[in-house]
Amino acid sequence: MEEEVRIKDSDLGSTFIDKIKKYKTYLIVGAVVIVIICIFLIFRSKGSSEHYDYLIVGSGLYGATFNYLAKLNGKTTYIVERRPVVGGNLYCEKMEDIWIHKYGPHVFHTDNKKVWDFVNNMTHFNPYIQQTVAKVEDKLYSLPFNMWTFYQLWGVTTPEEAKKKIDEQKYTGEIHNLEEQAMSLVGKDMYEKLIKGYTEKQWGRECTKLPPFIIKRLPTRFTFDTNYFNDRYQGIPEGCYNAMMDQLLKDTKIETGVDYNKNRKKYEKMADKIVYTGKIDEYFGYKLGKLKYRTVRWDTEVKDVANFQGAAVINQPDKNVPYTRVIEHKHFEPHNKELQAKQKTVVSKEFSEEWDETKEGYYPVNDEENNNLYKQYKELADKETNVLFGGRLAEYKYYDMKDIIENVFKQWNY
Ligand code: UDP
């Protein structure tokens, strides 16, 4: 019996070896596959060990300020930015030694001391007061609406005369749109000469179809004060906004050239919470329809003169001029005497256009139709429990810089 068993065992052994020989190739392939899977899992687990409190989508003012305060509160952050550079629309570039506000002129102004102190802690602000001029045909007018404007338009010299003139022609009914709002503030002449053409070019819509609040951004005053803003504090950072943004983004891991919406699977797991500052409709794949935005384009040229137009901004309310304003960038740095003396200047004509997917969205079109669509997107956004939607594009609101900073302060009870 024992002999028989031994014989059977050795038979079994040789069968096993034969089988191994037979399936050798399969076994090698299987082993290689297992090794590859193990390597993949090791790398994946290493990747996911990079976990943050916040993934911030967009390095503009909202994202950067949020980043700063998050870190101040001991949180970890990671930023993804679609553009090749950080700073959103505050990004500046030098041309002929002149700082160019690449995505449109930005003058920082606020009434809130805490906000002013906060930005001044980031970088030095040069004093700057925006004084805008408007050109219609061959005439120049001072903006915002002030005693100089009333004098230039009607020849009146006292506040009483100016008020009388406005009272004679102002709209007194209920206000439903921008036209009625403008006519109730400054009367028909001023509306037709300085508001209608500019507004319809900027927004690509009739003033009767636009919301009243847009024109209320501009002060109307019966003094000779030509400051474009009413706020107590105003300035532009030394080294343009890059210096300020660099501080807000200091020591932060930032990946540029990343479209979050196209790579969401990869990034959303990286953090407990997401701060999204892009377009809200794009976040939801435009599934309820596209919100409308206005975009801006500049035709920029270098001129071999020290001073081309004598002002940083000359508005063009004339409907026959295709651009809305002309920017002469060096006048945003009036303290820089060397630059002012230089026989070179950079001038940009600003054109306002309707947004499409090939362009950058700048201004939300807050008319009734778009606000209603935004409300529906907002309902979806509210259901995204770990995503915070913040800023001009994500909240579809015409915010100024100071509003953005105040909003982030509120998020952090700062
Ligand atoms: N506006 C105008 N004429 C001008 C400048 C402005 O009618 O010469 C109106 C226009 O409707 C514009 C609004 O005032 O949208 C607000 O202007 P603001 O300068 O605040 O616009 P920004 O370019 O700063 O967003």
pLDDT computed for residue 30 by the predictor: 67
SS3 of 50-87:
CCEEEEEECCCHHHHHHHHHHHHCCCCEEEEECCCCCC
> Looking at 180, 281, 282, 400, which residue is catalytic?
400
Query: Which of 195, 197, 203, 178 lies closest to 355 in space, CA to CA?
Result: 203
**Are the C-beta atoms of 328 and 345 separated by less than 8 Å?**
yes
Query: Who lines ligand 1 at CB under 6 A?
Result: 134, 143, 194-195, 198-199, 202, 214-215, 217-218, 315, 317
**Which atom, in ligand 1's list, is nearest to the CA of 194?**
3
CA dist 133 and 175 (Å) reads: 28
| Structure-token match 């005693």, residue found | 147
Confirm whether 6 is a catalytic residue: no
Q: Per-residue pLDDT tens, the chain, 414 aa: give them.
A: 344 444 444 454 556 566 666 777 776 776 676 666 655 544 444 445 689 999 999 999 999 999 999 999 999 999 999 999 999 999 999 999 999 999 999 999 999 999 999 999 999 999 999 999 999 999 999 999 999 999 999 999 999 999 999 999 999 999 999 999 999 999 999 999 999 999 999 999 999 999 999 999 999 999 999 999 999 999 999 999 999 999 999 999 999 999 999 999 999 999 999 999 999 999 999 999 999 999 999 999 999 999 999 999 999 999 999 999 999 999 999 999 999 999 999 999 999 999 999 999 999 999 999 999 999 999 999 999 999 999 999 999 999 999 999 999 999 999
Query: Which of 82, 62, 50, 76 lies closest to 251 in space, CA to CA?
Result: 76
Question: Each residue of 212-238: pLDDT tens digit?
Answer: 999 999 999 999 999 999 999 999 999
Confirm whether 350 is a catalytic residue: yes
Give pTM, 2 decimals: 0.88
218: CA distance to ligand 1 center in Å? Answer: 7
* Burial (0-12, 13-18, 19+ Cβ within 10 Å), 325: buried
pLDDT computed for residue 42 by the predictor: 46
Copy the structure tokens of residue 185. 């503030």
Does a cis peptide bond (omega within 30 degrees of 0) precede residue 144?
A: yes
> Looking at 103, 228, 325, 377, which residue is catalytic?
325
Query: Which of 42, 40, 54 lies closest to 270 in space, CA to CA?
Result: 54
265: CA distance to ligand 1 center in Å? Answer: 40
| Residue 365 neighbours by CB distance under 10 Å | 22
**Are the C-beta atoms of 125 and 247 separated by less than 8 Å?**
no
| Structure-token match 């976990």, residue found | 51
Confirm whether 325 is a catalytic residue: yes
Q: Report residue 39 CA to chain centroid gap.
A: 41
Copy the structure tokens of residue 298. 């500049």
pLDDT computed for residue 23 by the predictor: 73
